Amino acid sequence: MGNRVDFSFAIGMIRRNAALLAFPVLSAAIVAVVSLVLLAPIGLQVATQVADGVEDPTVSPVAIVLLVIAFLVNACVVAFFSGALTSEALVVVRGGRASVGHGLSVAFGRMLPLFAWGLVTATVGLILQAIRERAGAIGALVSFFGGLAWGIATLFVLPVVIVEGHYPVTAVKRSIAILRTLFGPEAALGSLRRVWGYGIGYLVVVFGGVLLGVALIALGVVTAGNGSTVLGVPAIVAGVIVFGLVAIVSTALGAMVSAVLYVYATEHTTPSGVDGELLERGLAAR
């Protein structure tokens, strides 16, 4: 394996601390409820226009306001539960046991910086989306690499917010500083080369699950198209469930890896089962 660090150990940590998986589930459930409550009037308005024979349905200014509110509220909800997940990932890395109650308590204590971070991520996402839609192929490339750079630069923002209580601007600066501590002065681009070999278990879970989900949905569509809904519908439902599980597990894995690296960089310790010397050889760019 050389100097590459295999973070598949994070899967074992999550298996022993299933409470970590509760946070993505709670986040998705609340996002669904918020979306249903705030966006239902828009759907009803459009459906009514379609039923009345309107060829080009429109939405009212009030509906647009509701759409913006739903988007921002959901961004804050996701940030809140991501913070709770990060809190418990840090607990696990330090040798403790994950607890839903403790994670929510910590997130409530950091609610304002977490909400601020949610608004920042929503804004950046909208900017990247606008670039992708309005600048053609070049815009798609700029959006992709911009999103990649943003993801790397903000890798440690949530641990910084949870542990140190910083607001977004300071948290991003601190995240970049931690990144430089781990990967050396060339951090941003040089880290890509090293990170590539680290998430073997993560990649297996994500891509394996995505392929399985796609295969199930494709099988269901083909089967249902041939008139066999008895087999087709369950296959489609199973595919959707697989995608949901992949999203939940991959979110927990990402939080765990970020927590391990944060603790290693700031406290110079590694969790049980992780080879500290190998981690140092694999990460250090000295």
d(CA 191, CA 270): 20
Rounded alpha-carbon distances, angstroms, from residue 138 to 123, 127, 129, 131? 21, 15, 13, 9
Highest mean pLDDT among 21-30, 184-193, 205-214: 21-30
Helix 61-93 / helix 111-134 crossing angle, nearest 10 deg? 120
Confidence of residue 2 (pLDDT cuts 50, 70, 90): very low
H or E element, residue 191: helix 187-195
Identify residue 254 by its one-letter amino acid code: G
| Residues 6+ away with beta carbon under 8 Å from 36 | none
Average pLDDT over residues 171-196: 66
Q: What are the structure tokens assigned to 189, written together?
A: 């681009």
- What pLDDT does 80 receive? 96
Tokens of 32: 């669904």
pTM: 0.79
Give percent above pLDDT 70 in the chain.
66
31's tokens: 């996002």
CA distance 68 to 52: 27
Residues 158 and 121 sit within 8 Å (Cβ to Cβ):
no
